[in-house]
Structure 1
Amino acid sequence: MQQSSVDTSSRAVQFESFGGPELLRLREVPAPQAGPGRIRVRVTAAGLNPMDWFMTSDAATAARFGLRLPSGFGTDYAGVVDQVGAGVTGFATGDRVFGGALSRAVADHVVIDATGTIAVGGDAHHTPDGVDDRTAATLTIAGCTAAAALAVVAPGPGDTLLVGGAGGGVGVFVVQLARRAGARVIGTGSATSAEALRALGAEPVAYGAGLADRVRALAPGGVTAAIDLHGTDTAQVARELGVPDRRITTIAAVVDGITPANGANAAAGAIEEIARLVAEGQLRVPLAATFPVERIRDAVELQAGRHVHGKVVIDL
């Protein structure tokens, strides 16, 4: 085993009972070790996603994701490989990496299966030069979810895409990737998100009652596709506007007749392509806020409010 660190203790954010952010604790734990087929990453940054607090909000929901107490927290991470287990190829100590480790990423160290998936063993990708660790820590969940959603509706030149919740973490990627594909994008959000949406390339429209009329006024020629990143309201409005079900998708709810998108189904290589675009300056990821790990509760409360414009990142 290649090894550049012999740390025996580590810090990890944990739940001892499922619930809200007030139950999160930063604990001293034994440092995990990289066994055969695995690498250990010294985490430098962890990005937050709505799924993090949703999964750990109550015991029944946690059980659906295979989580047991004491549970870790957070899934997106970035850092540096500091141990490489026997039989691992493609990674070496000192490599910068990013990826996902389901509900255990907010920790000093995380052990990743070199050939695993986010949900089973975790996954790792090489961080391109030009992408800092904070940004890399925002890419995996939101990027894969955006790629999967766009694959369902396949926007391109001539399309007008309606995006519900466009200012959130996934919306940042959806809007920019759809624009790169040649589509016009109309994004729903609050009044305070309008400038942020314009900066991403979307035309902002206020969500809520009367949305269909406001969209008609913006796009008298019609909407041809829709992605609902928040619930079902945008999907239902899209139907009202005549968008066929096959060109509508959701990520946070299920609607009969509409194909939901799941980041786990993103095409092979999708996240590497997103990282490449970020490295080349063709895709940007706004960071709404960064917090030291000691302020994990404040960070989760901000992120769970669903009103941040961009991503929230924890520094370790």
Structure 2
Amino acid sequence: MSKAYVFTRFGGPEVEAFVDQDPPEPGPGQLLVAVRAAGVNPVDWKLRAGKRRPGAPPAEFPEVLGSEVAGVVEAVGAGVEGFAVGDEVFGNPVTGGYAEHTLLPASLTAHKPVGLSFTEAAALPVAAATAYDGVRQLDLPAGATLLITGVGGGVGVAAAQLARHYGVRVVGTASAGKKDFVEALGVVHVPAGRGVAESGVAEAGVAESGEADLPSLADRVRAAAPGGRVDAVFDLVGGEHLAAVASLLPDPRGKLITAAAKETVGELGGAAVARARTSEVLDAVARLAADGVLRPQVTATYPLERADEALRAVEGGHARGKVVIEVGA
């Protein structure tokens, strides 16, 4: 039997549970992988809450949580080329990641570089790949200034590193408690949350006590950005946070992207991050990580038996960098 952490219906943390199940059988184009590490992402709890992508197949309960893993190939399905039993790989599973075994489609799997740990590799398929796709989509020249909202999370720290590698200056919004963390990445920190010109309380998940007394978010960004302007926005927060910074761009077309508000960003003239979702992208981020350009910034790890705590850390909105569940040997 294989242990997994699942949700039994749509809802909150109360619908999560551990189960023992038979390891899945790899179908054509699939790999059976013994999981060594699984990344934790906001999309995990959002899927549990019932927020599924348009066109996604209906849930079959119990459904295993988790959307990125690294592990060792145990079996290869029909038609798979380039992978063999014993290979160390990472990618996006089709049967969940918080488990001792899962299935990976060969088309969304890459070989793990020798110099990269399983824990580090498990942080790449969602956060780093999203950051890679977004930074490429913006295609900013060296010397330009990029604003990243929610820069302290997994996608944000990866996007900041990539942008800096390409010579782009980075300004980022994050809670006051993440100031030192993001500044160590070469990011100009801007305190998150609403200011006195934006009535109401600070936004949950991105602000801390006292931040509602600040000037407006747009004014804070202008004060921090070189020359008082930004050339593009990579949004990872959505909501009023996104609306506040969209006003910084005279023409948001092609320069305002989001991974957090895909359904509404078009109203502001922007677009969702165009995800490539290919093994070629995974290979690219793996090379960048192996070369030291992209550091996964795993700041907390949990054993599978504490998967609930790992997910709470991310769902609470205050996690720095990446949270990873370590599984198996």
Q: Same fold (TM over 0.5)?
A: yes
Aligned to 1:307: 318
Residues 1:37 and 1:184: Cα distance change in structure 2 (over 3 Å): closer
User: Where do 1:268-307 residues align within 5 Å?
Assistant: 269-307=280-318
Q: Are residues 1:252 and 2:260 paired?
A: yes
Going from structure 1 to structure 2, the CA distance change for 1:113 and 1:223 (only over 3 Å counts) comes to closer
User: Partners in 2 of 1:126 and 1:313 — Cα distance?
Assistant: 19
The CA deviation at 1:267 is 7.2
Question: How is 1:41-60 mapped onto 2 (pairs within 5 angstroms)?
Answer: 41-58=33-50
Per-residue Cα deviation, 1:73-115 (whole angstroms, up to 9, x for no partner)? 1110000001123432201111000001146111111122324
Output the aligned Cα RMSD: 2.0
**What's 2:198 paired with?**
none
Cα distance in 1 for partners of 2:257, 2:247 equals: 15
Unaligned 5+ runs, structure 2: 196-215
1:64–1:203: structure 2 CA closer, same or farther, 3 Å change rule?
A: same
Distance 1:268 1:87, change over 3 A: closer
Q: Partner residue of 2:213?
A: none
Counterpart CA distance in 2 for 1:158 and 1:233 is 28
| DSSP-derived class of the 1:112 partner | strand
Q: Does 1:114 align with 2:99?
A: no
Structure 1 residues 36 and 64, CA gap change in structure 2 (3 angstroms): closer
- What is the rounded CA distance, in whole Å, between the counterparts of 1:302 and 1:188 in structure 2? 19
**Partners of 1:205 and 1:148 in 2: how far apart?**
24
CA deviation profile, 1:258-295 (whole Å, cap 9, x unmatched): 111143x3577222111111111121111121111111
1:188 aligns with 2:179: no
CA contact (8 A) 1:22 1:297 kept: no
Match of 2:71 in 1: 79
SS of the aligned residue for 1:226 comes to strand
Select the residue among 65, 87, 109 that pairs with 2:56. Answer: 65
Distance 1:63 1:168 in 2: 25
Structure 2: which amino acid aligns with 1:282? Answer: V
Q: Distance in 1 between matches of 2:169 and 2:308?
A: 38
* Contact 1:130–1:280 (CA under 8 A) maintained in structure 2: no
Match of 1:17 among 9, 32, 35: 9
Q: Any conservation in 2 of the 1:127–1:275 contact (CA below 8 Å)?
A: yes
Aligned pair count reads: 299
CA distance in 1, matches of 2:242, 2:277: 21
Q: 1:28 aligns with which of 20, 30, 45?
A: 20
Runs of 4+ in 1 over 6 A off after TM superposition: none
| 1:199-234 deviation per Cα after TM superposition (whole angstroms, max 9, x unaligned) | 112110112221221222222342111111111445
Q: 3-state DSSP class of the match of 1:245?
A: coil
The correspondence of residues 76-155 of structure 1 with structure 2, limited to 5 A, is: 76-102=68-94, 104-115=96-107, 123-155=108-140
1:63 to 1:190, Cα distance in 2 relative to 1, 3 A: same
1:240 corresponds to which of 218, 241, 247: 247
SS in 2 for 1:52: helix
1:72 positional shift: 1.2
Percent of aligned positions that are identical = 40
Match for residue 163 of structure 1?
148
CA shift in 2, pair 1:295/1:285, >3 Å: same
Q: Output one character per residue of 1:156-200: Cα deviation in whole Å (capped at 9) or x when no partner.
A: 212111110000110011101111111110000011111111111
Change (3 A) 1:36 1:217: closer
- Corresponding letter in the other structure for 2:43: M
Structure 1 length normalisation: TM-score?
Answer: 0.88
| Partners of 1:203 and 1:55 in 2: CA distance | 32
Q: Which residue of 1 aligns with 2:186?
A: 201
How far 1:40 sits from its partner (Å)?
0.8
Partners of 2:248 and 2:105 in 1: how far apart? 46
Partners of 2:55 and 2:28 lie apart in 1 by 28
| SS of residue in 1 equivalent to 2:286 | helix
**Secondary structure, counterpart of 2:151 in structure 1:** coil
Quickly say closer, same or farther: Cα 1:153–1:217, change in 2 above 3 A.
same
Deviations 1:132-156 (A, max 9, x none): 0001111011122112222332222
